[in-house]
Amino acid sequence: MAKRNLLKNPNGDEDLEFWELTENGGSQWRVEDMPGDCGHEFNDEATSKYFATSFELCLKRQVVDLLAEGYTPEELDTQPAVTVEDWYCSRTDCGCVYQVRVSLLDENQEVMQEFRQDDVNIDPDTDDCSWREISHTFFEYGPGLRFITFEHGGQDTKFWDGWFGVRVTGSSITIEL
């Protein structure tokens, strides 16, 4: 099976379709066009949109059912490398906080292994606020992998009304068979 992104709508091209809004505070999630107000161009011209957060915590999540995606239990039980990537940035006029949590789950949706990034604070006074990538690869998590949850988001640090929080795009989960 070819390596492919298992997350649907990773850049907001389909608005918020396929994402479960687990926290939708402040002015709530919305999709904006690159580069946006006080923003930076993205390093991939094919990515033209991003998700923007607000002044209260905004988190969104997808649960990937690996059997429904065409993987067999035998393939998954070989513990293939699972790589997650995400891109985030801040506006140049307002600081923000970014967070991400990815969990590998068994058939009962119990956590087998988890990657959780400590909150990343971006301050425009000391940072250029350009797009940054976060990446993590899971290995040796044991047999039984059947689901993956991917949740990310954040908020701004000045509590400004509107969409001044962290921006996210280019999210992906890939499996290396």
Residue-wise pLDDT for 110-157, tens only, equals: 999 999 988 999 999 998 999 999 999 999 999 999 999 999 999 999
pTM of the model: 0.94
Q: What is the pLDDT of residues 42-58, one digit of tens each?
A: 988 889 999 999 999 99
* Nearest 10 degrees: Cα torsion 74, 78, 81, 86: 40
Q: What is the pLDDT of residues 68-116, one digit of tens each?
A: 999 999 999 999 999 999 999 999 999 999 999 999 999 999 999 999 9
How far is residue 153's CA from residue 142's CA, in Å, rounded to a whole number? 28
- CATH class of the domain at 20-176: mainly beta
What 3-state class would DSSP assign to 157? coil
Provide φ and ψ at 76, rounded to 5°.
Answer: -70, -30
User: Structural domain boundaries of the chain?
Assistant: 20-176
Q: What sign for the dihedral angle of Cα 127, 103, 61, 19? A: positive
